[in-house]
Amino acid sequence: MATSLEARLARELPGYARRVVGALEAAGYEAWVVGGWVRDALLGRPGHDVDVTTSAPWPETARVLRAAGIAVHETGTAHGTVTAVADGRPVETTTYRVEGGYSDHRHPDEVRFVTDVREDLARRDFTVNAMAFHPERGLLDPFGGEKDLAARVIRAVGEPERRFGEDALRVLRAVRFACRLGATIEPATQAALETCAGGLADIASERIGQELDGILSTGRAAWALRSEFVVMAAAVPELAPMAGFDQRSPYHAYDVLEHTARVCAGVEEFAGGMAPAALRWAALLHDVAKPACWSEDVSGRGHFFGHPEAGARVAREVMGRLAVPGEVTRAASALVLLHDLEVRPTRASMRRMLAELEAAAPGQARPLAFALLDLKRADALSKAPACRGYAVELDRMGAALREELAAGGVWRVRDLAVGGADVIAERGVEPGPGVGMVLAQLLAAVMEGEVPNERAALLAWLRW
């Protein structure tokens, strides 16, 4: 008899997935729903894409599903996978399989198809991902995934070092799942993570970038830095020098790593857990260049002259290597570049900040201005106690920013109430670079509050 939990899962299983499972079983084959949908359904979370595993060889899968009126795309037949499209929804459908060695730490050297679903589940990475569900047979859980899920524990299936040796990307996946589920990592699995983290050097950088972005998107980067720094530093070697780096500064109470973890936590607080991707990357990388920029004066005090500029360069290099989208990379590097920018609670200061952001990340200044203030707040609260009052002062900067934007905001030449034709008419200059120079001077005057952004006033300035 099905448990109440299994009855709930049966009710929640989407009809399009039932069609795929039902068609295969009507033809005499066995089929189960596996993977993320099972895990998330057990947690009561919104549905994940549904995957199916079956005893049918892939040519038979394709034939049976097409005969049932379900479209089939042969997307990964070397690994026994086809993609069924039922009721407009894709269902990746794969023959039960086991895998041979992984000489490149990423792809199996061979795939062997089997007839027992338990053998298929045994090849999977973590117990929480090694469960199968059938709307009539119920939950199949040979490795205790349901119990681990309830306890919020990430545990490798079988021998952990073997699992991570097969696919080194799994060390980052373990951290991502732990972050996403608010879980801890079981001790033997944790030990294997640290032993096998170096295998990430064999993984394509863009795959590492996808997993890191997934970690950051959980809002738990601070936990990852504190609890899984060996893995994080293997994924981004530029982070490694931050650990234990004493800043020797009256402004700082923590080493660079702990300061960074606190900033990552802080931006989540100030953004209500909805920090944009650029802000999360910037929090992670804002002080990445400090160790390289460190110097010591005669009193023994540490300094980090030029670290925002150097950090922005490192951020661009790291995020470019990890194939982070260009718009996110430009925005994050702009925040890193300007995280120490001096700002005051005046509209003129806000205009200068917006102009600097526009120059660093064209077209993104408005949203980045608020992100920069959040980064600066988190940065201030993660310093020595005497510096934390600055976070309160930043509330006044936010008010000035909102006032400036409500008034129309002037930080680009195109924001001026006059244009190039007015310069030519009033100054009598020829079209060319000279016009742009005059407009730049006029913009500077408006940004400093010397002249209002009103057409009559600007024309008068041009005539002067």
In CATH terms, 413-463 corresponds, of 1.20.120, 1.10.246, 3.40.50, 1.10.540, to: 1.10.246
Please answer whether residues 276 and 262 qualify as being in contact, where contact means their C-beta atoms are separated by less than 8 angstroms.
no
| pLDDT tier for residue 427 given thresholds of 50, 70 and 90 | confident
How far is the C-alpha of 81 from the C-alpha of 96, rounded, in Å? Answer: 10
Domain ranges of the chain: 4-148, 152-235, 245-406, 413-463
The model's pTM is 0.90
Average pLDDT over residues 384-402: 89
What phi, psi does 83 have (nearest 5°)?
Answer: -110, 115
Predicted confidence at residue 1, as pLDDT, reads 47
**Mean pLDDT in the chain?**
93
CATH architecture observed for domain 4-148: 2-Layer Sandwich (3.30)
Q: What is the DSSP letter of 429?
A: P
Which residue, among 397, 385, 180, 353, has the nearest Cα to 262 in the 3D structure?
385
Place of tokens 């899968």: 61
Pairing of strands 153-154, 184-185: parallel
Predicted confidence at residue 374, as pLDDT, reads 96
CATH architecture observed for domain 152-235: Orthogonal Bundle (1.10)
Lowest mean pLDDT among 261-275, 359-373, 416-430: 416-430
- What does the block give as tokens for 52? 């199916």
Q: What is the DSSP letter of 126?
A: B
Average pLDDT over residues 342-360: 93
